[in-house]
C-alpha cells in the first residue's frame, strides 16, 4: 500500500506545468492574485485555478492570507528560490539573440482567422521578418474549420484563435485572456450605464456573430439562462463586420475586445458586460511535432508586443 501511495504521489507531482510554476513565481513577487494576473497577462481566476492545481499536486499549501495579501509559506519561498535559475536559463534559451547574432532561417507558416489576421498579426509578422531576413514566412487567412484541420495535420507551423479548441492533434498555448464588452453606437441610450447586463438588452436590436463561432453559442446560453431573448437583426462572420454594423447604428453587440479595443474610434462606445463572459486567445501548434526555434521565437515576440493596458481582463479597467 505504501508503494502504491508513493507511486500516486510521484505521478501527481510529475504533472506540474511550467505555467503553474510561473504563477507561483509571480505571486511571490506580486503579493496579490490580481497583480500576478496582470503581470502574466491572464485572468485572476486563472491564477487562482493554477495555484490550486499546484497546491493539489504538491499536497501542501503555498500561501496564507494577511491584510488582503498572499503571504508565501516557507515551502513556497524555497521552491521559488530554486525556480530562479531555471527561469533564467529558459530566458537565455528563448532570447537566443542575446548570445549570438544568428537570426532564424528556414520556413514558418502562420495562419489565423480574419479579424486576428488583419487587425493584429501583420505588424508583428513584419517586425519579425525584419529581424530574421533569411526566414521564409507564409501567412494565410483561413476560416476556423480549415485552420484547425491544417494545424492538426501539420501543414501549418502556428495558428492563433480565440475559439474553443479541443482536438488531440492540436496543442494550445495561451496568449491572452479577456472579458466580453458591449459595444454601442455613440449617443445610444444604454451608454449612460456603467456596465451592461442581459436584461438591459431585452428588445434591443442586436448584431450577432454567425453560429459557426463558439462564442455565439456561449452568448446564446448566457441569455437563455437570464430569460432574455436576443433581438438579432443581423449576423456577421467577423468581429470587424459586427463592429462596422454597430458603427452604422444598426444595433449593439457583445464581442471579445481583442484585438479591436483600440481601433473602435469615437463613434462606438464600449461598456463592460456582466456577468463576465471570458475569451481565451491561444497559439495553436501541431501535436505531432515539436515547434521549431523560429516558431517559439515568434510566439515570444508576439507575447512581448502585447500592451496589457489596451487589452484589459477586468471590467473595472474600462
Q: What is the pLDDT of residues 143-163, one digit of tens each?
A: 888 899 999 999 999 999 988
Strands (E), the chain: 63-66, 69-72, 106-112, 135-141, 158-161, 170-179, 181-185, 205-209, 231-236, 253-255, 268-272, 278-286
Instruction: Give the tens place of pLDDT for each residue, 60-79.
Output: 899 988 877 888 898 888 88
Question: What pLDDT score was predicted for residue 28?
Answer: 86
* Mean pLDDT, range 7-24, rounded to an integer: 70
Residue 272 sits at the vertex; the CA angle it makes with 269 and 276, to the nearest 5 degrees, is 150
Bridging pattern class, strands 69-72 and 268-272 = unpaired
The ranges assigned to domains in the chain are: 2-94, 102-176+280-317, 181-275
From the list 150, 172, 177, the residue with the least C-alpha distance to 160 is: 172
Buried b vs exposed e over 72-91: b needs ≥16 C-beta within 10 Å?
beeebeebbeeeeeeeeeee
Question: What pLDDT score was predicted for residue 190?
Answer: 96
Question: What pLDDT score was predicted for residue 14?
Answer: 55
Task: Please tell me the CATH code under which domain 102-176+280-317 is placed.
Answer: 3.40.190.10
Joined together, the cell numbers standing for residue 87 give: 527561469
Question: What pLDDT score was predicted for residue 118?
Answer: 92
Question: Distance of CA 175 to CAs 231, 282, 289, Å?
Answer: 33, 5, 20
Task: Please tell me the CATH code under which domain 2-94 is placed.
Answer: 1.10.10.10
Residue 166 pLDDT greater than 80, yes or no: no
Residue 107 pLDDT greater than 80, yes or no: yes
Buried b vs exposed e over 104-137: b needs ≥16 C-beta within 10 Å?
beeebbbbbbbbbbebbbeebbeebbeebeebeb
Query: pLDDT grade, residue 318 (50/70/90)?
Result: very low
Instruction: Give the tens place of pLDDT for each residue, 230-262.
Output: 999 999 988 999 999 999 999 999 999 999 888
Bridging pattern class, strands 181-185 and 268-272 = antiparallel
* Mean pLDDT, range 44-71, rounded to an integer: 87
Dihedral sign (CA 159, 162, 168, 172): positive
Query: Same CATH topology for 2-94 and 102-176+280-317?
Result: no
CATH of 181-275, one of 3.10.20.30, 3.40.50.300, 3.90.1010.10, 3.40.190.10: 3.40.190.10
When comparing pLDDT for 97 and 229, which is higher?
229
d(CA 184, CA 15): 45
Note whether 184 and 248 are within 8 A (CB).
no
Q: What is the mean pLDDT of the chain?
A: 86
Amino acid at each position: 500500500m505504501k508503494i502504491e501511495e508513493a507511486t500516486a504521489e510521484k505521478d501527481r507531482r510529475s504533472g506540474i506545468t511550467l505555467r503553474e510554476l510561473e504563477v507561483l513565481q509571480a505571486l511571490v513577487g506580486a503579493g496579490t492574485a490580481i497583480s500576478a494576473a496582470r503581470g502574466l497577462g491572464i485572468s485572476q481566476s486563472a491564477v487562482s485555478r493554477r495555484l490550486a492545481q499546484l497546491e493539489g499536486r504538491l499536497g501542501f499549501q503555498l500561501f496564507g492570507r494577511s491584510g488582503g495579501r498572499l503571504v508565501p509559506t516557507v515551502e513556497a519561498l524555497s521552491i521559488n528560490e530554486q525556480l530562479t535559475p531555471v527561469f533564467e536559463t529558459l530566458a537565455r534559451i528563448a532570447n537566443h539573440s542575446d548570445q549570438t547574432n544568428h537570426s532564424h532561417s528556414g520556413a514558418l507558416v502562420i495562419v489565423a482567422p480574419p479579424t486576428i489576421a488583419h487587425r493584429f498579426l501583420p505588424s508583428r509578422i513584419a517586425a519579425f521578418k525584419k529581424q530574421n531576413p533569411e526566414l521564409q514566412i507564409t501567412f494565410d487567412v483561413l476560416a476556423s474549420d480549415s485552420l484547425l484541420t491544417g494545424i492538426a495535420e501539420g501543414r501549418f507551423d502556428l495558428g492563433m484563435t480565440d475559439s474553443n479548441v479541443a482536438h488531440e492533434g492540436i496543442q494550445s498555448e495561451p496568449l491572452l485572456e479577456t472579458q466580453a464588452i458591449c459595444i454601442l453606437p455613440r449617443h445610444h441610450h444604454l451608454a449612460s450605464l456603467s456596465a451592461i447586463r442581459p436584461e438591459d438588452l431585452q428588445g434591443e436590436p442586436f448584431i450577432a456573430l454567425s453560429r459557426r463561432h463558439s462564442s455565439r453559442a456561449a452568448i446564446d446560453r448566457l441569455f437563455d439562462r437570464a430569460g432574455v431573448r436576443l433581438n438579432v437583426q443581423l449576423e456577421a462572420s467577423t468581429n470587424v463586420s459586427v463592429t462596422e454594423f454597430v458603427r452604422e447604428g444598426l444595433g449593439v453587440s457583445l464581442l471579445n475586445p481583442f484585438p479591436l479595443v483600440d481601433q473602435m474610434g469615437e463613434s462606438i462606445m464600449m461598456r463592460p458586460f456582466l456577468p463576465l463572459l471570458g475569451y481565451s486567445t491561444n497559439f495553436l501548434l501541431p501535436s505531432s511535432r515539436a515547434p521549431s526555434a523560429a516558431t517559439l521565437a515568434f510566439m515570444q515576440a508576439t507575447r512581448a508586443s502585447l500592451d496589457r493596458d489596451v487589452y484589459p481582463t477586468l471590467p473595472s479597467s474600462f
